[in-house]
Structure 1
Amino acid sequence: MNSFLGRPYLDSYSPTADEQYAVNVVELPGGIKKTLFLLEIHEDGVSKLLSSKESLARCDIAVFVYDSSDESSWKRATELLMDVAGDGEDTSYEVPCLIVAAKDDLDSFPMAIQNSTRVSQDMGIEAPIPISSKLSDFNNIFRRIVNAAEHPHLSIPETEAGRSRKQYHRLINRSLMVVSGMLIVWHLTTVLFLMHLKLGVVENVGDHGWIF
C-alpha cells in the first residue's frame, strides 16, 4: 500500500489491523491514465466482508498478497482465495483475482513453485506475481491489477464445486436442446403430413374407397 502511494520502504513492519484505503493514478502504455482505488483488508476481516451477500458486487478485482518465504502465509492466502471464489460462484458476483508473492528478495519456502503452479492451474488464474518492496521491484503490479480488472474473464478463479456445477448445467442444457430438437422435428413432420392431406388430390377408386 505504501509503495502504491510512493512512500519509501521501511524495515519495520506493522501488520494491518484495520481497513486502509489508498487512491492513486496508474499510467498505462500509450499515456492512458486510470484511477485505482485500493482497499486493504486484514485476513481476519474477509469473513466479515463475505457475510454480506452483495459484498463482492462493488469489487472489481481481489488481490491476495502473501509472504513468499512463509508457507503458512501461502496456505492462508489460498484459503482466502477459495473463500472469495466460492462466494462469487454462490452469489453470481464472481470477481477476477490475482495472487502476489511479496518479499521476493528472500528465499522461497520449499515446494513454493510447485504449490503455486498447481493452485493457479487448478483455478484457472495467473501464477503468483513476485514483487519486492525492499528492492523496489514491483513487476508492474499496479498496471497488471488495472489490466485484470478491465479484462475480468481472464482472471476469474473456478473452484472444483463451481466447475462441477457448470458441467451439470451444460449437460442439462444439452438435454433440453435434444428434447427441443425432437419436438421441432415431430412438429415439422406433423405439419408436412397435414399439408400433404390438404394439398393431396382425391381420387375415386371405385369400390375400394377414396385415397389421396
Structure 2
Amino acid sequence: RRKRFSRTTFRCVLVGAKGAGKSALMSGLVGRPYDTPLPEGATTAAGCMMLPEISEGGDAAAEAVRGGSPAALLLSEVDVDAGSGAESIAAAAGLESVDCAAFIFDASSAESYRVAQAALGRVAEWSARTGAELPCMMVAAKDDLGMSEELAARSSGVCASLGLEPPVQASVRAGDTSAVYQRLLAAAADPGAAVPETETSRAARARREQLLAYAKYGATAMGVLAVGVLFYRLVSSSSGGSSSGDSRGGENSKADDGRPIEDAAALRVASASLRQYK
C-alpha cells in the first residue's frame, strides 16, 4: 500500500448490511440509474466508464481524472451482519488486497447503521492488529430518505473517536455521489489517509515513540561518555607531556594551546557528535 502514489487503479470494497444501498451506490458511481442492475460487459455513461469484470466477484470500475491522469476505482461489495467477525469480513472482502474499505449504511435505518458501525470497529482493530493500515470511511447512503439528528451525531462521534471524518452523505436517486467518489479515491491513493486509530494502534504508536526517546537519550549519554573519556585522556596526556617535554626537547607536535594534536582533534570530533545527538 505504501507504493500507491504512483498508481492509477485502486481497489475499494463496500461493506454493509443487505439493503444498505451498496449496489445502488456502485451503479451511481459508474453513472447508471440506481435501480438498473450492473451489466457484465463494458459501457459508458455520464462521463464515467464501467470496465469489464476483472474478477469472479463481479467488480465494477468508476474512472475519472486524478491530478491530470486517469484514475480508476475498482469496486466490489460484501454483505455483513451484526455478528460478522473481523476475520470473516477480512476473508469475504479480501481486505489484504484492497486499498480502502467503505462501510455503507442506510441513512434512515438505525439497524443498518449498527451493522456498519460494528463492522468498522472490528475491521479497524483487525487493521491495527495485523499492521495492514487499511484506510476506512463511512457512507450514509439513501440520504434522500433523511437521517435523524441523533443518528447523524452518533455516526459522526464514532468516526471522530477513530480519527476519521464524518460519514459522507450520498443519494444515488438524487445523483449525489461525487463526494463519495472523491473521498474513496483520496483514501485509496494516499497510504497515510483515513487509517482508523484504535486503542491498539495508539498503544503501538506510544511504544514506538518511547523506544525512539530511549534511543535518543542513549545516544546522548554515549556521546557524553565519549567526551569524558577523551577529555580524561587529553588531561593525562598533557600532564605526562609536561613532565617529559623538557627531556625530549619538544619532539611531540602540539596544538596552539599546548595539547597533542591527535587528542585535540579527537575531542573536536566527539564534541561535534554530541551536538548532533542533542
Q: State the Cα distance separating 1:189 from its structure 2 match.
A: 1.0
- Post-superposition, which runs of at least 4 consecutive aligned residues in structure 1 deviate over 6 A? none
Match of 1:42 among 58, 67, 79: 79
Q: State the Cα distance separating 1:51 from its structure 2 match.
A: 5.4
RMSD: 2.8
Partner of 2:60: 23
Q: State the Cα distance separating 1:123 from its structure 2 match.
A: 1.0
Quick check: 1:86 aligned with 2:125? yes
Structure 2 residue matching 1:115: 3-state secondary structure = helix
Q: How does 1:1-212 map to 2 (within 5 A)?
A: 1-10=26-35, 20-28=57-65, 32-44=69-81, 47-50=87-90, 56-200=95-239, 201-203=241-243
When the two structures are aligned, how many residues end up with a matched partner? 197
CA shift in 2, pair 1:20/1:103, >3 Å: farther
Q: CA separation in 2, counterparts of 1:61 and 1:149? A: 5
Q: CA separation in 2, counterparts of 1:100 and 1:39? A: 15
8 Å contact kept, 1:62–1:97: yes
Note the alpha carbon deviations across 1:143-165, whole angstroms, 9 max, x for none.
32112211231211111232133
Q: State the Cα distance separating 1:131 from its structure 2 match.
A: 0.4
Q: CA separation in 2, counterparts of 1:50 and 1:9? A: 27
8 Å contact kept, 1:125–1:157: yes
Residue identity (%): 26
Q: CA separation in 2, counterparts of 1:29 and 1:152? A: 16
Q: State the Cα distance separating 1:30 from its structure 2 match.
A: 6.0
The letter for the 2-side match of 1:4 is L
Q: State the Cα distance separating 1:166 from its structure 2 match.
A: 1.5
Q: State the Cα distance separating 1:185 from its structure 2 match.
A: 0.9
| Structure 1 residue ranges without an equivalent (≥5) | 13-18, 205-212
Q: CA separation in 1, counterparts of 2:35 and 2:62? A: 23
Structure 2 residue matching 1:3: 3-state secondary structure = helix
8 Å contact kept, 2:59–2:76: yes
Q: CA separation in 2, counterparts of 1:75 and 1:51? A: 21
Structure 2 residue matching 1:154: 3-state secondary structure = coil
Q: CA separation in 2, counterparts of 1:20 and 1:143? A: 23
Structure 1 residue matching 2:58: 3-state secondary structure = strand
Q: State the Cα distance separating 1:62 from its structure 2 match.
A: 0.7
Q: TM-score, normalised by structure 2?
A: 0.62
The letter for the 2-side match of 1:128 is P
Partner of 1:207: none
Note the alpha carbon deviations across 1:133-186, whole angstroms, 9 max, x for none.
122211332232112211231211111232133123312331332233212211
Q: State the Cα distance separating 1:49 from its structure 2 match.
A: 4.2
Structure with the greater alpha carbon radius of gyration: 2
Q: CA separation in 1, counterparts of 2:194 and 2:33? A: 30
The letter for the 2-side match of 1:5 is V
The letter for the 2-side match of 1:85 is A
Note the alpha carbon deviations across 1:84-126, whole angstroms, 9 max, x for none.
1111111111111111100101121351222122112211111
Q: TM-score, normalised by structure 1?
A: 0.80
| Structure 2 residue ranges without an equivalent (≥5) | 1-25, 38-55, 245-278
